[in-house]
Each structure stands twice: as C-alpha cells, then as structure tokens.
Amino acid sequence: MNYWKWKTNGTALDAEEVCLLTQHGVALYNKDAKTQWSKGKLSLTTHHLMYQDEADSSSILQLPLELVRRAGQSPSTASGFGPFSSPKIIVPLPQNNYVKLSFRSGGADNFFSAFVNALEKKAWVQPSSSKLSQGASNEQPSTRPTPTAREGAGASGSGSSPAPQAAVLPSVPRGVGIAGVQQASAQSAAMNETLKDVDDVMNKASSLVANIRRLRERNEATAAAGAAPGSEMAVERTKIESIESTLGLGTMVTRGGSDSSESQFHKDLAQELHTWMTHERNAKLFNDTPVVPLIELFALYNKARGGDLVSPLDVLNACRYMTAKMSSSRYDLVTLSSGRKALVNKDDSLLLAKLAALLGPQLVNEQSSPLQDAWKQQQRRSGVTPLLHVPSAKRLPSSAGELRSVSDVQLAERMQVSTAVAADILGSLEQKGYLCCGDTGFDCFVYYWNIFVF
C-alpha cells in the first residue's frame, strides 16, 4: 500500500482527467493480506485508480496508472476459491509489489477490460505542445516561485517572518475553455464514429438475412417439386435451418402473428411443436425419452424458442390438438398414474428396447395368444412402425430365480429421468400388460416381464 496516496481535494479530477468506470463493493488487499478497506467505491479514470471508503467518504486513496505501466507487467485476474470467494484483479507495481482488488458485488470482467484499455492509451502522457502551453499559462499569474514547505519551516525556525506565499488561484472548472471544447469535440467524433459502425453492421445484417431467406425459399420450392430425404437439397435445408437457428431467424408461431382465433394459434403451435419433436436433430433426445412430462416439454420447448415464450396452458392446448386432430402425430397425451400429464410415443419399442437392456430379452411364447394378437392389431391400426427391434426369447424360465427385475431407480438411471417419471413409465407398461409388478416391502416395487398372459 506504499504507492497509494491520500487525495485531499475530494473527488475532483484534474483538468485533462476523465472518469471511465465506477464499481461499488470493492475490497483492497496488500498483496495477499486483507486491509482495513473492505468495502468501498473503486473509480477508474484516465490517470488514476481511486478508492473511496463507503464507511468514511472523506477517505479517498488514489494510485497513478503510470506506476502500473512502470511495473513492467500486465494486470491479471484471479477467480475465487470456493463459493464465498470473490473474483479479483491483480495490479502489479514496481519492485515486485502488487495489490489485489476484490469485487464482492460483481463487475470484475468489465472493470478489467476498461482498466487494460486505459493502460494501453496512456492518457496521462501529454503531448509536448500541451505541456508548453500549460506551463506558459501557469507562469502568467505570478513570476515569483512559491516557497516550499521546507523553506517555510526553515524561515520560521530562524526567527524571521515567513516569506509571503503566492495567492492560490481558483481551479478552472472542467469542460470550460479550449480544453473543454476539444474534449467535447473528441467525444462527439467518437460517438459519430460508433453510430456509423452500427449502421454498417445493420446494413450488412439486413443483406445477410435477405440472402438466407432467398436460399430458404428456393430450397422449399425444390422440396415441393420432390426431393429424396438424403438428397443434396435435404442436406442444404438442414444447413439453412442450422444457420437460422444460430442467428435467431427461425420462423416461430406467435400469438401476435396469428390473425385468426385462439384455436388457430394452438393449431399452428401444435404443428410447430410436433415438427420440432420429430426433427432429425432432436431424434436422440425424444427417442431416448419416449415419455415426456408436459412440465419438462414446456421447459425444453421454450429454451429452444429462445424468445416469444409460450405459457404452460398454450403448450397443453397444443398437445391436445396434436394428439386429437393430427393424424400424423406420433404421440398420445395421457395422464400418468401420478396424475401428471405427459406425451407418450405411440411406438412401444422405444421403451421395450431399454427394458430389454435391464431385464434381458422379452419373454414370449412360441404359440400366439389372444392378447398378443390384440396388441399386433392395435399397433397396425395406430399406423406406427417400430423404430427399434426388441430382442425376444421363446424359452420361458424354469424357476423364479431366473427372472430379472428392474426398479424405478434403475430405470431412471438408465433413461436419465427422475424416479417419479420412471415409476410412471413402469406403471403404464404394467397397465398395457408388458410387465408385472412385485412388492418387496416398504413400498418398494420391482417389475418383471409378464409371462402369465402368454
């Protein structure tokens, strides 16, 4: 802390000094040791670092940025250790000294960027012409040098009367005179340059959006004429969709964009939701989780939209329309045994294949049974083609010890879902007849392949 100096004229700045950034809730460290200044306001100017204690606003410390430049090292940041440690900026000083600035209220990244930028600009280094003009203006009021404190002390000690001191002129307010005009002109020029850059970026972005839309319209026209799923146009459509998603240009169904009734909005939302769930980019997500509770679907869908979020009621109404009036829908809206609503994929092979990894091959009888025939007819009526092959075994176990079981905890770990959702999945498969349940006590249930109906 030897390089910090007390500032006696309050928060006033020098003639050419400008305040760049201020951050509250900052603590000072002398190397790695805490100091008495644990909470204060840290200000970055073009010439100094200023620290004002919040407990005593009259206590102001300042550190010249020139000393930091002379240290020969660049400032660095240090992340906190543990959940209660704050990010810090390490300020190097001459002779291998340094201080730490602990940002307990955040803002360390922004302050560090502004700090490094101020050190690179070196605004405290004035041009020679500016120094000469400042020296000439200082010499005009009085040609007599002002006696120093040591000379005054020596004169009083010798018994002689103290030498008359030159009158102190009032400080010129900032922003007045030629310096103020130059500063305002520089700020105006910088602002105009920034606005010009923003206009250039907006013009380039507008042309980019127009080109992407033309590509999409051309691709849609080609797809309408007939294109194979694995063709070059299909690959190009996937790339265009990826670019639109990255730039946030995807066309989303919004309530304001729908010029018809509320039901039309839910119809459009249902089509968009079904297209999103069955898209090849999301196939792994929804094939690995064939049972999607609506509360999780609401979170995933709004996260994918990014903007123009929809309410849980809108998602529920869209799911109702999807499962009731869309013939191409792959999902059914069901109420699980726990009372939560969920979208369940009509293809049972997605769930049975996961159970086969835990229970072994599905046990079936060589001879068909009325129940098996009913299941096959129901699957044909639904129009769903099994996506996965479920391994099966026709040899029934000779004893109960050969039967493998699965619990809701094991299935939850396998499918990366909550145990409540896993319990609902097992319960729904039990109702369909695929599984049978065994009570092991203390409300713990395990499930086996159902061999009694075959």
What confidence tens digit (pLDDT) does each residue in 15-31 have? 778 888 888 888 888 88
Same domain, 338 and 398: no
Confidence check: pLDDT of 165 > 70 = no
Domain annotation covers residue 77: yes
280 and 354 co-located in one domain = no
Residue 193 lies in a domain: no
Q: Rounded to an integer, what distance in angstroms lies between the CA atom of residue 269 and that of residue 257?
A: 12
CB-CB contact of 315 with 442 (8 Å): no
Cα→Cα distances 367→222, 281, 372, 433, Å: 50, 40, 10, 17
Selection from 15, 13, 3 nearest residue 65 by Cα: 3
| pLDDT given at position 274 | 86
319 pLDDT above the threshold of 80: yes
Last residue of a domain, one of 103, 121, 139: 121
CATH number at residue 403: 1.10.10.10
Looking at the fold, whether 312 and 419 belong to one and the same domain comes out as: no
- pLDDT at residue 136, rounded to an integer: 45
- Return the structure tokens found at 98: 């340094």
pLDDT at 244: 64
More confident position, 209 or 168: 209
DSSP 405-417: -EEHHHHHHHHT-
Q: In what order do the strands lie in the sheet with 435-441?
A: 406-407, 444-449, 435-441
Query: What percent of the chain has pLDDT above 90?
Result: 1
Mean pLDDT in residue range 126-140: 48
pTM of the model: 0.42
Q: Which residue has the tokens 């009509």?
A: 346
Name the nearest CA neighbour of 324 among 375, 272, 266.
266
Sort strands 341-345 and 291-293 into parallel, antiparallel or unpaired: antiparallel
Helix (H) or strand (E) holding 345: strand 341-345
Helix orientation angle between 294-305 and 262-278, rounded to the nearest 10 degrees: 90
User: CA 431 to CA 428: how far, in whole Å?
Assistant: 5
- DSSP for 347-395 reads -THHHHHHHHHHH-SEE--SS--HHHHHHHHHHHHHTPPPSS---EE-S
Once rounded to an integer, what is the mean pLDDT over residues 437-452? 79
Higher pLDDT, 73 or 142: 73
pLDDT value of residue 121: 83
Residue 382: CB partners within 8 Å, gap ≥ 6? 346
Q: Both 361 and 305 in a single domain?
A: no
| Among 126-135, 371-380, 406-415, the least confident range | 126-135
What is the pLDDT confidence band of residue 320, given thresholds at 50, 70 and 90? very high
Has residue 330 got a pLDDT over 80? yes
Q: Are residue 276 and residue 311 in the same domain, yes or no?
A: yes
Q: Is 157 part of any domain?
A: no
User: Are 179 and 127 contacting, i.e. CB atoms less than 8 angstroms apart?
Assistant: no
Residue 223 lies in a domain: no
d(CA 86, CA 23): 14
Among 416, 411, 407, smallest CA distance to 448 is for: 407
- Assigned domain for 374 exists: yes
Domain contains 140? no
pLDDT level of residue 80 (50, 70, 90 thresholds)? low
Q: Examine the domain organization and report whether 393 and 353 are in the same domain.
A: yes
Q: What is the pLDDT of residue 376?
A: 64
Average pLDDT rounded to a whole number, residues 79-94: 78
Cα angle for residues 238, 244, 248 (degrees, 5° grid): 145
pLDDT, position 245: 60
DSSP letter assigned to residue 123: T
Q: For residue 181, what pLDDT is reported? A: 75
Cα 424 from Cα 335, distance rounded (Å): 10
CA 355 centroid distance within chain: 36
pLDDT in tens, 259-290: 456 688 888 888 888 888 887 777 777 777 77
Assess whether pLDDT exceeds 50 at residue 159.
Answer: no
Q: What CATH number should be reported for the domain holding residue 48?
A: 2.30.29.30
**Domain of 46, in residue numbers:** 5-121
At which of 344, 364, 383 does a domain end? 344
- Is the separation of the CB atoms in 186 and 121 below 8 Å? no
Has residue 409 been placed in a domain? yes
More confident residue, 305 or 172: 305
Is the model's pLDDT at 14 over the cut of 60?
yes
Tracing tokens 């002390």 back to the chain, one arrives at 153
Q: How many domains does the chain have?
A: 3
One domain for residues 112 and 19: yes
Please indicate, yes or no, whether residues 117 and 9 belong to a single structural domain of this protein: yes
Residue 155 has pLDDT above 80, yes or no: no
- Among 209-213, 333-337, 366-370, 418-422, name the one with the lowest average pLDDT: 366-370
Residue where one domain finishes, among candidates 90, 121, 152: 121
Q: Note whether 9 and 117 are same-domain residues.
A: yes
- State yes or no: pLDDT of 134 exceeds 70: no
φ, ψ dihedrals at 428, nearest 5°: -70, -40
254: pLDDT confidence band, cut at 50, 70 and 90?
A: low
Are 330 and 354 in the same domain? no
Please state whether beta strands 362-363 and 392-393 pair in parallel, antiparallel, or not at all (unpaired). Answer: parallel
pLDDT recorded at residue 69: 78
Residues 365, 268 within the same domain: no
Contact 171, 12 (CB under 8 A): yes
Considering the chain, what is the average pLDDT of its residues?
75
Residues 330, 383 share a domain: no
Q: Is residue 170 part of a domain?
A: no
